[in-house]
Each structure stands twice: as structure tokens, then as C-alpha cells.
Amino acid sequence: MSTSVREGDFVILDVNGEKLSFVQVTPKGKARIGKGFVPATALVGLPYGCLVEILEHGELQQVARCVPEQAEAPIAELRSSGQGGQAIVAALASNSATYASKTEFSQEKYRRKKSRKYCVQATLVQPTARSICEGLFAKAPMKIGHLRVDALALLLSFADIGPHSQALVWDGVGGLVTGAVGERMGGHGDVCSVYTGRNGNQDSTRLFNFPDHVRKSIHTCQLVEMQHRLDTPAAQQPVNTSQAEQLPNGHGIPDPDAAQSDGIAMEVDGAPMPMPSNNTRAAAEVAPITSSKPQPADARRQSGTGCLNKGQPLRSSFTSCIIAAPAVSPGAAWHWLRPFLAPSASFAIFSPHMQPLAEFMQTLQHTKEAVAVQLHDIWWREYQVLPFRTHPEMNAAEPGGYVLAGIKIGS
Amino acid sequence: MVLPPVKPHPHIQEGDLVVVYERFDSMKQVVVKSSALFGNRFGNFRMQVCSYSRLTNPSTPRTKILYAADISMVCTFLELEPGSTVVESGTGSGSLTTSLARAVGPEGAVHTFEFHEQRCQAAAEDFRQLGLDSTVHLKQRDIEGQAFPAELAGQADAVFLDLPGPWKVVSSAAQTLQPNSRFCSFSPCIEQVQQICLALSGHGFHYIRSMECLLRPHKVRSITLGSGISEAHSPHNAGQNKKRKRNDGRAANQNAQPAPAKIASPAAFLAANGGNSSMPPLDQGPAAADFLSQSSPCKMNDK
Ligand SMILES: C[S@@+](CC[C@H](N)C(=O)[O-])C[C@H]1O[C@@H](n2cnc3c(N)ncnc32)[C@H](O)[C@@H]1O
């Protein structure tokens, strides 16, 4: 991870702790902080984690974080010393005749209001699985299948994702899960991301600022092609894909991506992300998720590492599996992916609904294809912690979804 | 937590620690010796023919340990990656340590400190057996009294505390961390959380968040729902009387309206919140909960 912002990076701007937005540092991009805009390139070289604000003449400036003592200084002095708006707001509050008599709730409201006026500041947050998931969830939870960060965390743990795994991922939420797996594996071992239809939308993986070696470890594989290779001896594999394309209907492979992909199109402030082109992508083509620039075909084909042969997943080769495709039946997904899982592979399946997972759990209990099968619902609550004023956050305790996890056993 | 060997190998070898699942949900740990027998309720087996599963954390808890929900949140909010350096205290049973080691991999390092001598020895033995001794660096040390060693200053990508008085260690944690890196403390009581939060904001940490997380296990069983009226009078199921009766007492609600549409397909799956009486109710108060306080330190790199 780079410690400072580089050209081409995605950066998450946390504005006053109230709003998260994504910006890509491109020559044409703009970063919006409150009502002001600066060229996105103004962020280059700033350390991640730092606090910035836009000055009156429109220049971006890094500001110090307010330490409690500074709240005492007079406002004019604070302004001229460039201390930043936090100290001003604190001083305003302590000077206000009515502030102390306000309820805690309206004190908070007062500070917010003054902050918006005097102190629009943004923290440059490094995109990680954690921050990207929270950013996307805050923006539009439907677009990531209501996969909250606590559910994502559990999927990674239960599926035993880490360096030297071989991970098979069915990511129906736009690339967030594939990216999170790539981050945990850090280029040690392969990530194979399954898609259906013509092209899987995995745009969110771009938000991770992956270095090349990680990007190259992430592969996309079309489900139809995977199944086809599984049934066909290596020698007679046809390159023609039109027949293979028919398989899904005959076998009932759903195409959730086709239905969802419009909804998942990412808007990124200052840099709209291009949707994957609608060109027919040959099913045999397996491209590491690198830049959208075309590459020589040879570079795209990964020669046989642990779990892939010419870019295609091998039978019984994956040690970890995550299925986060809320529109796909868990039983169907398991049916397609199971042959690729090694004995003792850990798997974890996410759904915002319990019923499909409960039914599939019962199926597994009968087929005895897995052990240590657990169905959990996920619960998470944040707290405001202050002396004598500790309480759960108001809008917390929304349902977090369900995870079914287990360990595949050999047949 | 499921934990594979550092360098996984596909076949069981002499001396490997394996977890044997005997049934859907019961497991046993075995160290493989080709000369020995593996005995269970189904009889004795020669070791060579045991089927195996991935290694799971083999420690029997020696202290209150962290479980899946906490562990996954800690690893995710500490933003661990392969190659990261994590500093932890106290080690306790090592339950979290093994997961930290799994996340940072052989390319990273976990420095963990425990002041209790026996726990320290037992954990060291576990890490050795798990093949983690090159990743996990365990030392016996009183962290609240002596702070983290000076040579770790500025080294850590993340610090994790599970100590009775974590606020005493905050200043040392701040020195141990790199700029813009993560801190997490785990406490069972809200009073401890309050103290640590105050200490954190006093030491330049920002983005302090306190949270509670929980996993509720569910069991699944099939039940058949009745129509709610006496079987003999139901117009819809003359042929099903025998089968329905068995379930009536348990599932049918006597006050319910007849629901002919459901009678047509009486078998329904039900996911019941699994009769696990030890699970706290959803609206449990803070007193029963565990808390994580996470934050990143504010150490500005001046331009
Ligand atoms: C609750 S346990 C930690 C459990 C651990 N997180 C796990 O998952 O297994 C707390 C541990 O901290 C140790 N401890 C308490 N005070 C300490 C100190 N001052 N320095 C180092 N370790 C300490 C205790 O001996 C105990 O083993």
C-alpha cells in the first residue's frame, strides 16, 4: 500500500465524517469537498489519512487535526493562524450563550451547522476492503446486495481467505468481494472470479489501487466455459463458444449479472467509471482484471499455476470459496462450483435472506457434502461512547444478512 | 477459526495436526502417527486411512477468547494484508494470534506479549505445532507495566489490545504504530471502553469507533404447518389426516384462519433460531456485550 496519493489512485474522501465519496486522481478529475471543487491532481503526494480543506481562493490545503486545548483561542486568531475550522467551531460553541443550555442533541446539531459553514474538511481515506465496502454501502446498499462490512469480514474469515489460498469467488455484487479477496491474498495465490452472461461486472475491484502483482493474480472465468472444460477432455476443447453459450439455458444457469449490471454501474465523483463494453467477449478469454487497455492475448493467459490451466480453473483445486451472489440460488451455485473445490476447502455463502441458505443447509445435511456447516445471522451495532453519554447509535442494528459456511469433504 | 498450515500441502504427512469431523458437527484433533490407531465411536482406524479436513484452531481456551465474529471484525478493521506487522497483547490462548498470523502470512509478523508464564509457554507450544513460529514472535512481558519494547517503535501497521487496563498502553501503542495505521482494543465492559476512548483522543488518535458484534447461530429443521381447524372438518385434506395430526400440537395455531393455499403444499422449511439458550437476545444491553474500539492515530506527515 502506498502511504501517499499517486496519480491514477482512487481516494475516498470522508467529508466532515458525514459523507464518503470516491474520486479518481486523473488529469480531468475533480475532487469535491463540500461546495468546493479542486482538480483531483491536487491530491497527489498528500499522505493518506491526512485532513484537507479548500481555502477561500480555491486552493487545497492540508490542515492539522484539532487538539482539544486549541478550542480556547479567539476566533479571528484561529482563522489567521490557519488552524482550520474545527477549532473555530469549538470556540464558537464555547462562546455561545445558549450552547450550554441546549440538549445534547441540539448541541450536536449546532456544531454540525457551524461545521458546514466554517469547517468543511475531508480526510483522504485509503481504499481498502473495509473503507470501500463502507463507502459503497453508505452510497447505495442495494448496489452491493446489502453486503455490509461485517458480513464481508465474516465471509473472508469463514472461507479462510489469506495468502497462499486458492480462492474461487462468485461475486454478484460488482467486484467488491473479488477485490477484498485479492487484498487479503496480496498476490500470493490466485483469485478466480466466476461470472455469468457476457461479461461480469467487476468494476469495484478497480477501487482497490492494486499493484500489478495483485492485479495479475485476479482472473475472471465465465461459468459456462468452466463447466464446459470440466466435461470435455483437454484434447478436444473447442474454441467455438456459441455452443457453450447454450449451456446455461439448458442447465438452468441463471444470469443474474445481466439483470443486475445496469443497477450496479458505479458513479464515481469526478470520474464516471466506464461500464464494461458490450462487445461479445469470447468465452474462452480469461483476462486478469487489469487496466481497461487491451493487452496482448499471451499476457492475459496465465499458464498453469496451482488452480488454473490456461486461465481455466482446474477440478478440485481451490482451497477457499465465497459465493456472494444474492440473485443466485445457493444450491445452484454450489452445484456449479463444487467440482472445483479441493477436499477440505472452506466455503462461505452470503445472502440478505435466510430462507435460501436455510434450505441449502438442509440439503447439505442430507447430501453430506460438507461438515462444520453453520448458518448465522450477523449483528453489528456502533456506540457513541462519552462520559455519562454512552448509547447505541440511533440508526444501527439494521439486519446484516446471513452467512452459511462449511468445509467441503471429499467425495 | 479455520487455519491452514503456513505452507499447505495437499496430502497428510507424518506429524501433521488434523481435525477429524466424525459427524456433521463433532470434531477431534489428531496428530498423525502412522504407527498409531485412531479410535472413535465407529471403531479403530489405522491412521493412514483417515479422511481429513483443514486444520482448525486446536487450542482449548485457557482464557476468555475471541470468536469468529470478533476475529473477523478485528482483521478487517485493522486492514491487515499479507506482509503487515501486527503487535498484540495479551496473547491469552492465542486464538486471535493465529488468525492475525493467518492474515499477515509468512511474509508478515505478529509480535505478541503475554505476562502469565504458563500461558506463554502453552501458547508458544501451540504456535510451534501449527508451524507459525516463524511468523509469531511471542515474548513474556508485562505490557501495562513495561510498555511495548522500544525497538518496535514506528514498526507496526496495527496494534491490538485485549488487556484489563488497555488505556495504560495507549501512549506506547501510539509510538509503536506507523502514521495513519490502525489500533483496536477489545473489552468486555463499557467502562473499559470509555476509558480507552478518552485515552485515545488524548493521544492524537482520530476516527474512534466503538462497536459490538454478534453472530447468532441457527438450526434448520422441516416442519409441517396445519390449517388451524380440526382435521376432520377440513374440506381439503381428507387423505392427509394421519400425517397432519403428528404435527398439529406443535405447529398449528388454533386461532389461525384456515389457509387453504398453504394446505396444498404442507411441507415447509423453517429456519428456527436454534434453541441455543445461551445466546443473548437481540436487544441485549451493553453490560452483556463485548466491545471493540477502533481508531487510527493522527500522526501528520508534514509536507
Ligand atoms: C482475555 S485474555 C486474551 C485472550 C486472547 N485475545 C484470545 O483470543 O485468546 C487476556 C490476557 O492478557 C494477559 N495479561 C493481562 N495483563 C497483562 C499485562 N499487563 N501484560 C501482558 N499480558 C497481560 C492475561 O494473562 C491474559 O492471558
Instruction: Name the residue of chain A whose CA is nearest to B50's CA.
Output: A410
More confident residue, B287 or A390: A390
Regarding whether B186 and B151 lie in a shared domain, the answer is: yes
Q: Is residue B273 part of a domain?
A: no
Instruction: Give the closest residue (by CA) to ligand 1 atom 12.
Output: B90
Question: Last residue of a domain, which of B56, B76, B103?
Answer: B56
Element (H, E) at B248: helix B241-251
Residue A333 and residue A170: Cα distance in Å, rounded? 8
Q: Say if residue B245's pLDDT is above 50.
A: no
Counts of helices then strands in chain B (DSSP H, E): 8, 12
Q: Say if residue A221's pLDDT is above 80.
A: yes
pLDDT of residue A88: 67
Q: Say if residue A113's pLDDT is above 80.
A: no
pLDDT band for position B48 (cuts 50, 70, 90): very low
DSSP summary character for residue B226? -
pLDDT of residue B67: 84
The helix-helix angle for A85-95 and A104-118 (nearest 10°) equals: 140
Q: Say if residue B162's pLDDT is above 80.
A: yes
What's the whole-model pTM score? 0.77
pLDDT of residue B85: 98
Regarding whether B204 and B124 lie in a shared domain, the answer is: yes
- Measured CA to CA in angstroms, residue B210 lies from A186, A393, B201, B206, B289 at distances of 28, 10, 13, 12, 12
Residue B29 and residue B48: Cα distance in Å, rounded? 15
Instruction: Give the closest residue (by CA) to ligand 1 atom 4.
Output: B92
User: Average of pLDDT values for B88-100?
Assistant: 95
Q: DSSP secondary structure string, B139-204? A: EE--HHHH-S-GGGTTTEEEEEE--S-GGGGHHHHHHHEEEEEEEEEEESSHHHHHHHHHHHHHTT
Regarding whether B132 and B190 lie in a shared domain, the answer is: yes
Of A102, A103, A156, the C-alpha closest to A129 is: A156
Nearest CB partner across the interface for B71, out of A157, A354, A357: A157
Residue A129 and residue B73: Cα distance in Å, rounded? 12
pLDDT of residue B10: 56
pLDDT of residue A388: 85
| Spatial CB neighbours of B138, under 8 Å, sequence gap ≥ 6 | B91, B97, B112, B113, B114, B120, B123, B124, B127
Instruction: Name the residue of chain B whose CA is nearest to A180's CA.
Output: B76
Task: Give the side-chain half-sphere CA count within 13 A for A321.
Answer: 33
Mutate to test the interface with A, among B67, B212, B276, B283 (most CBs of A within 10 A): B212
Residue A223: which region, alpha, beta or left (left: phi > 0; alpha: psi -120 to 50)? alpha
Q: Say if residue A87's pLDDT is above 80.
A: no
Comparing A34-38, B5-9, B106-110, which segment has the lowest mean pLDDT? B5-9
Residue A342 and residue B216: Cα distance in Å, rounded? 28
Q: Is residue B11 part of a domain?
A: no
Instruction: Give the closest residue (by CA) to ligand 1 atom 13.
Output: B90
Instruction: Give the closest residue (by CA) to ligand 1 atom 2.
Output: B92
pLDDT of residue A276: 39
Q: How does pLDDT run across A371-401, given as a tens digit for each residue?
A: 999 999 999 999 999 888 888 887 655 778 9
pLDDT of residue B250: 41
Comparing B34-48, B71-85, B168-182, B261-275, which segment has the lowest mean pLDDT? B261-275
Q: Is residue B21 part of a domain?
A: yes
Whether ligand 1 lies within 6 angstroms of the CB of B157 is answered as no
Identify which of B59, B89, B117, B184 to mutate to test ligand 1's pocket (most ligand atoms within 8 A of the CB). Answer: B89
Q: What percent of chain A lies above the pLDDT cut of 90?
A: 50
Q: SS3 for chain A, per residue?
A: CCCECCCCCEEEEEECCCEEEEEECCCCCEEEECCEEEEHHHHCCCECCCEEEECCCCCEEEECCCCHHHHHCCHHHHHHCCCCHHHHHHHHHHHCCCHHHCCHHHHHHHHHHHHHHHCCEEEEECCCHHHHHHHHHHHCHHHHCCCCHHHHHHHHHHCCCCCCCCEEEEECCCCHHHHHHHHHHCCCCCEEEEECCCCCCCHHHHHHCCCHHHHHCEEEEEHHHHHHHHHCCHHHCCCCCHHHHHHHHHHCCCCHHHHHHHHHCCCCECCCCCCCCCCCCCCCCCCECCCCCCCCHHHHCCCCCCCEECCEECCCCEEEEEEECCCCCHHHHHHHHHHHEEEEEEEEEEECCHHHHHHHHHHHHHHCCEEEEEEEEEEEEEEECCCCCCEECCCCCCCCCEEEEEEECCC
Regarding whether B157 and B110 lie in a shared domain, the answer is: yes
Residue type, B209: R
Residue A197 and residue A278: Cα distance in Å, rounded? 11
Shortest distance, CA B25 to any CA of chain A (angstroms): 5
Q: What count of other Cβ atoms lies within 10 Å of the Cβ of residue A381?
A: 22
Binary contact (B105, A62; C-beta < 8 A): no
| Spatial CB neighbours of A358, under 8 Å, sequence gap ≥ 6 | A375, B218, B220, B269, B270, B271
Count structural domains, chain B.
2
Regarding whether B47 and B22 lie in a shared domain, the answer is: yes
Instruction: Name the residue of chain B whose CA is nearest to A364's CA.
Output: B24
Q: Which residues of A touch B8 (CB under 8 A)?
A: 164, 319
Question: Last residue of a domain, which of B214, B249, B267?
Answer: B214
- Measured on CA atoms in the order B224, B230, B231, B235, is the torsion positive or negative? negative
Q: Say if residue B203's pLDDT is above 70.
A: yes
pLDDT of residue A57: 80
Q: Is residue B182 part of a domain?
A: yes
Comparing A126-140, A334-348, A353-367, B289-303, which segment has the lowest mean pLDDT? B289-303
Regarding whether B88 and B25 lie in a shared domain, the answer is: no
Regarding whether B182 and B114 lie in a shared domain, the answer is: yes
More confident residue, A241 or B187: B187
Q: What percent of chain A lies above the pLDDT cut of 70?
A: 72
Q: Say if residue B218's pLDDT is above 70.
A: yes
Assess: ipTM above 0.95: no
More confident residue, A85 or A248: A85
Cell of A109: 446539531
pLDDT band for position B40 (cuts 50, 70, 90): low
Nearest CB partner across the interface for A130, out of B76, B179, B219: B76
Q: Is residue B35 part of a domain?
A: yes
pLDDT band for position A409 (cuts 50, 70, 90): confident
Sorted by where each begins, the domain ranges of chain A are 10-125, 136-408
pLDDT of residue B7: 44
**A343: exposed, middle or buried (Cβ count in 10 Å: 0-12, 13-18, 19+):** middle
Q: Is residue B43 part of a domain?
A: yes
Report yes or no: A214 and A190 within 8 Å, Cβ to Cβ. no
Mutate to test the interface with B, among A214, A379, A409 (most CBs of B within 10 A): A379
Report yes or no: A204 and A266 within 8 Å, Cβ to Cβ. yes
Whether ligand 1 lies within 6 angstroms of the CB of B93 is answered as yes
Q: How does pLDDT run across A10-21, given as a tens digit for each residue?
A: 999 999 888 899
Comparing A19-28, A204-213, B96-105, B252-261, which segment has the lowest mean pLDDT? B252-261
Regarding whether B199 and B83 lie in a shared domain, the answer is: yes
Identify which of B126, B163, B169 to mutate to test ligand 1's pocket (most ligand atoms within 8 A of the CB). Answer: B163
Of A398, A400, A350, A399, the C-alpha closest to A375 is: A350
Instruction: Name the residue of chain B whose CA is nearest to A377's CA.
Output: B216
Comparing A263-277, A379-393, B221-235, which segment has the lowest mean pLDDT? A263-277
Binary contact (A65, B204; C-beta < 8 A): yes
Q: What is the CATH number of the domain that holds B147?
A: 3.40.50.150
How many beta-carbon contacts under 8 Å exist across A and B? 216
Regarding whether B154 and B127 lie in a shared domain, the answer is: yes
Cell of A139: 452510497
Q: How does pLDDT run across A142-195, given as a tens digit for each residue?
A: 999 999 999 999 999 999 999 999 999 999 999 999 999 999 999 999 999 999
Long-range contacts made by residues A178-181, C-beta under 8 angstroms, separation at least 24? A178/A202, A178/A204, A178/A205, A178/A218, A178/A289, A179/A129, A179/A132, A179/A204, A179/A205, A179/A207, A179/A208, A179/A210, A180/A129, A180/A132, A180/A133, A180/A152, A180/A155, A180/A156, A181/A156, A181/A320, A181/A322
Nearest CB partner across the interface for B54, out of A1, A346, A373: A346
CATH number of A136-408: 3.40.50.150
pLDDT band for position A356 (cuts 50, 70, 90): very high
Cell of A157: 474469515
Binary contact (B180, A3; C-beta < 8 A): yes
More confident residue, B253 or A363: A363
Regarding whether B143 and B77 lie in a shared domain, the answer is: yes
Report yes or no: B92 and B62 within 8 Å, Cβ to Cβ. yes
Regarding whether B47 and B157 lie in a shared domain, the answer is: no
Q: What is the greatest pairwise CA distance in chain B?
A: 85
Whether ligand 1 lies within 6 angstroms of the CB of B116 is answered as yes
Mutate to test the interface with B, among A12, A164, A176, A389 (most CBs of B within 10 A): A164
The three-class DSSP label of residue B129 is helix
Of A374, A378, A379, the C-alpha closest to A402 is: A378
Residue B240 and residue A325: Cα distance in Å, rounded? 39
Regarding whether B73 and B41 lie in a shared domain, the answer is: no
Whether ligand 1 lies within 6 angstroms of the CB of B63 is answered as yes
Whether ligand 1 lies within 6 angstroms of the CB of B89 is answered as yes
Nearest CB partner across the interface for B220, out of A46, A358, A376: A358
Domain of B170 in residue numbering reads as 68-214
Shortest distance, CA B42 to any CA of chain A (angstroms): 17
pLDDT band for position A137 (cuts 50, 70, 90): very high
